Amino acid sequence: MLLLTVALALYAAVALAYWLWNLYAAVRVRRDVPSLDAFAPPAGASLPRLSVVVAACNEAGAIEAAARTLLAQDYPDLEIILVDDRSTDATAAIIDRLAAEDDRVRALHVTALPEGWLGKVHALDRGTAEATGAYLLFTDADVHFAADALRRAVALCEARGLDHLAALPACWSAGLLVDAVVAAFLRPFVAMMRPWAVADPNSRAFLGVGAFNLVRRSAFERTPGFAWLRMETADDAGLGLLMKASGARCGVAAAFGRVGLTWYTSLGDAARGAEKAFASVGGCRLGPMLVGAAGTLAMEIAPLAAVVLAVVLPTHPAAWALAAVVPVSAAANILMARWARGRVIPALLGPLAAPISAAAFVRAGLLGWRRGGVMWRGTLYPSEAIRAGRRVTLPPPKRLPEVTCDQEHAPDKSGG
């Protein structure tokens, strides 16, 4: 009985600390992460040329609708580079048609993947080599933009002297259960990455977002470029790390009303998306994946465990200690959901969605272990190569890596 009491007390203490941190994170992002809504250049203000680079592999179902929101931008000097990364569907034809319709669009086709590169990272590198803008925006092929989103983002960078801006998008609803799974992932991810601290040059916090990574070209060219990330599966976060470690001025903004996407359309889609976690979270090792899944599950179901314990052992001291998790977790979920303009009910269903998320991570770990690497977009990337090229670790490293632009890792300016 004593052992049970100690175990329950320890669980209650760790779970409460975990949820208090999530609540603290929700308060900080609401208070300290600026919104794109607050930034717009004066009428008639001159803005530097902006190149948008979109890497697309088999995105025929999404790319045209998303690209047309880029074509609807009110940005005065805009270039859009659509990179077809070895697609086997109609993506290439859609890109070519868009380029024929609008001279702001350039179509680029990648037909082969060099050894030692991930497909998306290589496609972004190729697109960057073709870009002519003073600012470069890297975004995914399914992301939609309000007409003034790019103008406001560049205005923010100009006003604050930022070299890198990661803008957080709205994740549109795909159903109650899928929304709950997404919310249960995003809340602790935000808490772990500390976006409110990214702008502090003395902080090691960094963040990159696949939907919206905006860089000042002159600052980006002082880094090794995408060659430094050529085998990094978390390429979006890796870009944020690259810029922060190079000494660039970085920032994060909330763009929930102006940038959005449907992240996952189904639970199966979410499970397939989690397969990259074998590399980014587990470091291509099964053990860390299983431990991470178990630990996260234990913390996320703590509110539900508190209710069960209150029913089974209502007089036990640990039941009262664990009960404190319930209001703290509810407050954290509500604050984060409202800040992100998401639905509150799915966020509160996190304890029920946590086992699904844990199962997806276990599945990803087992698949990665059995395959000997990560299968992504039809290409198997071996574990050894991914581990050798890994830059991003979760949780983030205690110190930022040294990043220098040398001849071996210089950005590709040749276009091929």
Tell me the pLDDT tens digit for each residue of 287-339: 999 999 999 999 999 999 999 988 888 887 878 889 999 999 999 999 999 99
Question: For residue 405, what pLDDT band results from cuts at 50, 70 and 90?
Answer: low
For residues 262 and 177, the answer to whether their CB atoms sit within 8 Å is: no
Give the Å distances, CA to CA, from 251 to 28, 143, 215, 285, 319. 14, 20, 10, 32, 42
Tell me the pLDDT tens digit for each residue of 125-170: 999 999 999 999 999 999 999 999 999 999 999 999 999 999 999 9
pTM reported for the whole predicted model: 0.92
Q: Helix, strand or coil for residue 135?
A: strand
Q: What pLDDT, on a 0 to 100 scale, did the predictor assign at position 4?
A: 80
Supply the Cα-derived Rg of the chain in whole angstroms: 22
- What are the E-state strand segments in 89-222? 105-110, 135-140, 144-145, 164-168, 170-171, 213-216
Q: What is the mean pLDDT of residues 378-382?
A: 91
CA distance 181 to 274: 11
Q: How many residues does the chain have?
A: 416
Q: What pLDDT, on a 0 to 100 scale, did the predictor assign at position 415?
A: 40
Give the Å distances, CA to CA, from 26 to 22, 106, 203, 372. 6, 40, 19, 38
Q: What pLDDT, on a 0 to 100 scale, did the predictor assign at position 35?
A: 96
Cα dihedral 329, 334, 336, 337 in deg (nearest 10): 130
CA distance 21 to 192: 9
Tell me the pLDDT tens digit for each residue of 217-264: 999 999 999 999 999 999 999 999 999 999 999 999 999 999 999 999
Question: For residue 408, what pLDDT band results from cuts at 50, 70 and 90?
Answer: very low
Domain spans, the chain: 2-29+268-388, 33-265
Fold type of domain 33-265? Spore Coat Polysaccharide Biosynthesis Protein SpsA; Chain A (3.90.550)
Q: What pLDDT, on a 0 to 100 scale, did the predictor assign at position 2?
A: 80
Question: For residue 401, what pLDDT band results from cuts at 50, 70 and 90?
Answer: confident
Q: What pLDDT, on a 0 to 100 scale, did the predictor assign at position 313?
A: 83
